[in-house]
Amino acid sequence: MAEHQAVYATDEYGRPFIILREQAKKTRAHGLEAIKSHILAAKTVANIIRTSLGPRGLDKILISPDGEITVTNDGATILSQMEVEHQIAKLLVQLSRSQDDEVGDGTTGVVVLAGALLEQSESLLDRGIHPIRIADGFDRACTIAVKNLESIADTIEYSKTHTENLLKTAMTSLGSKIVSKEHEQFAQIAVDAVLQVADLERKDVLFDLIKVDGKVGGSLADTQLIKGVLIDKDMSHPQMPSKVEDARIAILTCPFEPPRPKTKHKLDISSVEEFKKLQNYEKEKFADMIKRVKDSGANLVICQWGFDDEANHLLMQNDLPAVRWVGGPEIELIAIATEGRIVPRFEDLTPEKLGKAGIVREVTFGTTRDKMMVIEECANTRAVTIFVRGSNKMIVDESKRALHDAICAVRNLIKDNRVVYGGGAADISSSLAVQKAADEIPSIEQYAMRAFASALDSVPLALAENSGLSPIETLAEVKSRQVKENDSTLGIDCNGRGNNDMKKQFVYDPLISKRQQYLLATQLVRAVLKIDDVIISGQAE
């Protein structure tokens, strides 16, 4: 047949040489080498993250190019701040980011699982199994694992008064964070914040209404939930009152300044009379602005822009307390919380557009002159601010990230109140289910499915290793107990409480989070197995 024949060709000097069928094998070998180099890059990233998994996971110090230090064990933060050059490593960074965006928790676990799946696929490639068959086997295994998760999930009840189960989920999320010393208090704050803004009928949580702010000084125990809005500003004049009750707030995005000529034009003043005219014109404009604000019935002005000393003095004389330089996101939050309208021009200011709040007050901290404004008893009672305190900026920042994960975990339960059990219990159960299904499949995919089952074991193995336990012995013992007792709640006892039942330890994992980890990791691995070459545009390989 034609394809078996040798092909004769000549090089640039006219010397003949033969191209044989072996070339095709070489090309395939080159493709496998490319896949293996990708797997190596992914494994390297996953191994860095692996030690940060679980309640006893270790933190990483990340130093940015300008010398700023971040200490964290949040997978998404570590990966987003790491400088990774390899294309596949960048895909893992995007994987953790998509888990963070969609679910908000489980960013470390998803990368560990993806790394383990790629590690397993390497040994299958060595055995000569085609990458596409491996990818198909992983797909089948993932479907079985997700079905198993849904079958072992428990539905937990909660309401605005009965929050115990939500609290336990938040505590599980915070168990591995820097705030674990105060994790009961932080979990309570996360639950209260979510329930304050949640619409339980629609199973929806408006994240826009939760603001997390922080200030260095004080301990983590001083962290509090404020039912209202906190802004890092103070009154524009030191003699203005520091407290306004029954506040009617004018929210302005126009500056307290007289209109000035556009950039192309200039104003030439050649005599004293002209200067006085200009001065009087400015005074009239200032007076008109103050009058419009007073006429609307406002007793507090919040302005996105600054204003000069003259405007400040006039506001002070007219008993109009004001806050200036309030940023755009804060302005929007204040408008939502006080049910006011953002007014872009003084001419548009009317009594109906004012925001309403029971009390607006300045708060001061310690011996410093730091001041912040608190707007409480707002017209829209659902807006809340979590005010984090800590001994240094690093702890405050990490506490904010920890709270974000806890808030997301509680939000996931409100969207879908099914949970699986942590400590690797759900992963071991899914691993056993996939293993059982693989034994019944006659096709070559059974090898990939067994590899998937082994990869699922990587999560409990990492948990055991990070907790100082003997990984393989601990996993083997828990696995055999799950099979004997047919109990999918048995997991790794990370905290050394002498009890492997994760249900009794209240280690809850929202089903949404776990399911998403499996699906995203499998999708990524499938994509990587299909890449057999990297072509950089403009460069010859």
Distance of CA 282 to the CA centre of its chain: 49
CATH code (residue 481):
1.10.560.10
The answer to whether the beta carbons of residues 424 and 268 sit under 8 Å apart is: no
CB atoms within 10 A of CB 351: 10
Q: Answer yes or no: do 120 and 162 share one domain.
A: no
- pTM value is 0.79
69: three-class secondary structure by DSSP:
strand
216: in domain: no
**Are 294 and 394 contained in the same domain?**
no
- Based on the fold, state whether residues 251 and 372 are members of the same structural domain: yes
* Cα-Cα end-to-end distance for the chain: 33
Pairing mode, strands 418-421 and 342-343:
unpaired
Tens digits of residue pLDDT in 79-96: 888 877 788 888 888 888
538 in a domain, yes or no? no
β pairing state of 243-252 and 300-303 = parallel
31 and 170, same domain (yes or no): no
Which DSSP symbol is given to 257? S
* Token pair in block for residue 540: 């010859």
Task: Calculate the alpha carbon distances from 210 to 227, 270, 384, 406, 516 in Å.
Answer: 10, 55, 5, 13, 24
Q: Residue 390: give its domain's CATH number.
A: 3.30.260.10
Please give the Cα distance from 96 to 76 (Å, whole number). Answer: 5
Concatenate the DSSP letters of all residues of 433-501 into one string. Answer: HHHHHHHT--STHHHHHHHHHHHHTHHHHHHHHHTTS-HHHHHHHHHHHHHHHT-TTB---TT--S--B
Q: Tell me if 270 is assigned to some domain.
A: yes
CA distances from 233 to 1, 259, 322, 469, 521 (A): 83, 26, 10, 50, 44
Is the Cα dihedral 187, 193, 194, 195 positive or negative?
A: positive
444 shares its domain with 374: no
CB 289 within 8 A of CB 342: no
**For the domain that residue 327 is a member of, what is the CATH number?**
3.50.7.10
The answer on 331 and 201 residing in a single domain is: no
Domain boundary among 327, 354, 380: 380
Let me know if residue 218 belongs to a domain: no
Q: Is residue 353 part of a domain?
A: yes
Q: Domain for residue 219, yes or no?
A: no
330 and 243 within one domain = yes
Beta bridge mates, 250:
301
DSSP 121-176: HHHHHHTT--HHHHHHHHHHHHHHHHHHHHHH-EE----SS--HHHHHHHHHHHTT
**Angle, helix 393-415 to helix 164-174, in steps of 10 degrees:** 140
Average pLDDT for runs of 10 along the chain of length 541: 50 56 47 80 86 85 86 84 81 86 84 90 88 91 92 84 82 77 86 86 82 85 87 85 88 80 70 84 83 87 83 84 86 87 87 88 76 83 86 87 87 86 89 90 88 92 88 90 88 81 84 91 90 69 47
Q: By three-state DSSP, how is residue 381 classified?
A: coil
Which whole-number Å values give the CA distances from 146 to 14, 511, 536, in the listed order? 61, 10, 37
Residue with tokens 């990524």: 524
Q: Is 142 exposed, middle or buried (0-12, 13-18, 19+ CB in 10 A)?
A: buried
Q: Is residue 88 part of a domain?
A: yes
3-class DSSP assignment, residue 293: helix
Which domain range does residue 245 map to?
A: 228-380
Which 3 state secondary structure label does DSSP give 269?
coil
Residue 539, pLDDT score: 58
How, if at all, do strands 60-63 and 69-72 pair?
Answer: antiparallel
Same domain membership, residue 170 and residue 119 = no
430 domain-assigned: yes
Q: With H, G, I as helix, E, B as strand and everything else as coil, classify residue 94.
A: helix
Report which of 56, 156, 145 is spatially closest to residue 428, judged by C-alpha positions: 145
Work out the number of other CB atoms within 10 angstroms of the CB of residue 125.
16
Residues 411 and 466 occupy one common structural domain? no
My answer on whether 149 and 7 are in the same domain is yes
Catalytic residues: 74, 107-108, 405
| pLDDT score at 523 | 92
Q: Are 10 and 19 in contact (CB under 8 A)?
A: no
> Same structural domain for residues 277 and 327?
yes
Tell me how far apart the alpha carbons of residues 252 and 320 are, in angstroms, rounded to a whole number.
Answer: 14
74, 80, 82, 86: CA torsion to nearest 10: 130
Nearest partner of 386 among 199, 104, 191, judged by Cα: 191
And the tokens for 241?
């009152």
* Structural domains of the chain, count: 3
Helix (H, G, I), strand (E, B) or coil at 258: coil
- The three state secondary structure string of 96-107 is HHHHHHHCCCCH
C-alpha distances (whole Å) from 420 to each of 131, 188, 417 are 32, 21, 10
Are 25 and 96 members of one domain? Answer: yes
Domain boundary residue, one of 330, 352, 380: 380
